[in-house]
Amino acid sequence: MSENYSAATLYIILLVFLLIMQLIAGAYLSIRTGKLRELLSFRLHDRLLKRLYRTEWMAINKYHNGDIQTRLVSDVGNIVEGWTATLPGIIAMAIQLVVAFFTLWYYDATLAIFAFMLGPITLFLSWLIGRKLKRMQHEIQSAESSYRSFLLENVRHMLIIKTFQYENSSMQQMENLQQHKLNWVVKRNFFNAMTNLSIGFGYQAGFFLAFVLGAYKIARGATSFGTFTAFLQLVGHIQGPLQGLSRSLPMIIATLASVERLKEFDALQSEPGSEQYAQPIKELASINFEGVSYAYETNVPILQEISFSVKPGEIIAIVGTSGEGKTTLLRLLLALLQPREGRAFVRTSSAEELAISAATRSYFSYVPQGNTLFSGTVLDNIRIGNPDATEDAVIEAARHACAWEFITKLPLGLHTVIGDNGVGLSEGQAQRIAIARALLRPAPILLLDEATSALDLDTEVEVLERIKRLAPQKTCIAITHRLSVIDICNRVYRVRDHKLVEIENGSSTGV
């Protein structure tokens, strides 16, 4: 009696120990899986962003921001879920299937083969179903991209929506996009439900046939009742993983569809010179265009046979009507676009000619049109030009941009937090911070694309005079429409009829 009691106690202790270990192992696995998901997500984001940063600007420009965001968030999420949840589940079900099959084979080979026959049938049906599911998943992800793009644009252009009283039309557009996405989601879910229902009926029919076959063997004395009971349990262990695999099919398809969408980025053309991105800057002798022509994909010429040379310390103005190609010219200098004809290059003091590419982008600081500030502090925004710059260097750049006076009046000075796109600052203040950012960058050439358009006349002249006093450290090419800028410049060029022509300094012709 005491021996039985001791054995029972031992079994109870062992059971409690195993239950505790199971709980601990489950908690540990949950923690590790959560960490693995984040690390995998981070790695995919790192890889994709690096790829986008090295891709030609025009190639990326074809994708809407909402589409790119959907791929970075939703598609990456599908892939991470597939690797960390679906794939381990499939491996576990496959192991369970193999163990159950060989165990059943040990008892009755005929019954094992009968139970396993559902496997090839399931795989074939899954292949047929998967092709249709993949098309549906692509449509759903495309609808998600359109929907997210719409939301981003409407948040960004809230001022226009309010002032034009466009709220009702905007809401109607959103409802249409929601309905389009919902239709595809419902179609996919209905297809999944019908597929699972059909497969479920098939497995139940298979289980029923296995039961009949086993009962027939018992009646003939070909098997025992115990073997029959074990057989039914093992059939369930075979059918369970097969059914689980079929139910995992939608997630597998979602993962594969997301992989295909992300692989589109790998097929995009890399920028020339992107592999030499961080080349040291050499002493500048000139910037040169020789017979450069450019046309967008419509093949309508924008610039034709452009030739000019800029020396260190010069300030050059480029004028012309809207749409003539002035901004395109700056994008060619920045290697965001590549000439269709001609040569664009930087000549160093050692007479070395460096073809304009991503590798020569370090020679340029750029102030584009509009508000290009990030959310964060004023200091963070200016330091984008040179992340290693000291605070004193930032202050000096702000002084040259005529920004220091108003920065000191902000609640926390340089450490004042501003919103996305410079919310909390006037357009003129945002422009001056952008100019300070460009001046802080250790690049010899400054490109201004209507960069002083929001400044009053006196401030604009003061900013440009201070930039001129930086010569020969800074060479400046400025797109402008204002006479005040032209009077300060060494030379003035006009873009007209796709040509670049030097005009008399001080002339208002073509401005």
- 183 contacts 219 by C-beta, under 8 angstroms: no
Q: Which residue has the higher pLDDT, 125 or 382?
A: 382
The whole-number average pLDDT for the span 268-290 is 78
- 244 contacts 93 by C-beta, under 8 angstroms: yes
pLDDT value at position 305? 92
Alpha carbon distances (Å) from 176 to 24, 179, 255, 470 = 49, 5, 27, 55
Residue with tokens 């020339």: 272
pLDDT tens by residue, 23-45: 888 888 888 888 888 899 899 98
The whole-number average pLDDT for the span 402-428 is 86
- 43 contacts 27 by C-beta, under 8 angstroms: no
Range with the largest mean pLDDT of 80-89, 109-118, 290-299, 337-346: 337-346
Alpha carbon distances (Å) from 437 to 50, 218, 282, 334, 356 = 23, 87, 21, 17, 23
Task: Return the bridge partners of 448, or none.
Answer: 367, 478
Range with the largest mean pLDDT of 31-35, 126-130, 137-141, 384-388: 384-388
CB atoms within 10 A of CB 295: 16
Q: Which of 17-26, 83-92, 276-285, 486-495 has the lowest mean pLDDT?
A: 276-285
Q: Which of 10-24, 241-255, 465-479 has the lowest mean pLDDT?
A: 241-255
Whether the predicted pLDDT of 247 surpasses 80: no
pLDDT tens by residue, 230-244: 777 777 777 777 777
Q: Which of 83-87, 172-176, 245-249, 307-311 has the lowest mean pLDDT?
A: 245-249
CA distance 50 to 72: 12
Give the sheet arrangement for strand 353-355, strand by strand.
301-310, 284-295, 341-348, 353-355
* Mean per-residue pLDDT over the chain, rounded: 83
Q: In order of start, what are the domains of the chain with their CATH numbers?
A: 44-267 (1.20.1560.10), 284-503 (3.40.50.300)
> What is the H or E stretch that residue 411 is in?
none
Q: How confident is the model at residue 403 (pLDDT cuts 50, 70, 90)?
A: very high
Q: Quick check: helix, strand or coil at residue 364?
A: strand
Q: Which of 104-118, 396-410, 452-466 has the lowest mean pLDDT?
A: 104-118
Q: How confident is the model at residue 510 (pLDDT cuts 50, 70, 90)?
A: very low
Q: Which residue has the higher pLDDT, 371 or 394?
A: 394
Beta strands, E only, 373-444: 376-377, 417-418
Of all residues in the chain, the percent with pLDDT exceeding 90 is: 20
57, HSE (Cβ side, Cα atoms, 13 Å): 11
Residue 359 CB burial class (10 angstroms; 0-12, 13-18, ≥19): buried
CA distance 34 to 22: 18
pTM of the model as a whole: 0.77
Q: How confident is the model at residue 276 (pLDDT cuts 50, 70, 90)?
A: low
pLDDT value at position 447? 94
Alpha carbon distances (Å) from 5 to 2, 13, 18, 19, 419 = 5, 12, 20, 21, 73
CB atoms within 10 A of CB 469: 10
Residue with tokens 């005040």: 484
Q: How confident is the model at residue 482 (pLDDT cuts 50, 70, 90)?
A: confident
pLDDT tens by residue, 155-192: 877 777 877 778 888 889 889 999 998 999 898 888 87
Q: Quick check: helix, strand or coil at residue 356?
A: coil
Alpha carbon distances (Å) from 273 to 102, 284, 324, 386 = 59, 19, 28, 21
pLDDT value at position 509? 46
Q: Quick check: helix, strand or coil at residue 485?
A: helix
Q: How confident is the model at residue 10 (pLDDT cuts 50, 70, 90)?
A: confident
Q: Which of 62-66, 110-114, 195-199 has the lowest mean pLDDT?
A: 110-114
> What is the H or E stretch that residue 408 is in?
none
The whole-number average pLDDT for the span 133-150 is 85
Q: Which residue has the higher pLDDT, 435 or 463?
A: 435
Which sign does the torsion angle of CA 97, 98, 103, 106 carry?
positive
Residue type, 209: L
Q: Does residue 472 have a cis peptide bond before it, meaning omega lies within 30 degrees of 0?
A: yes
CA distance 389 to 439: 12
Q: Which residue has the higher pLDDT, 133 or 344?
A: 344
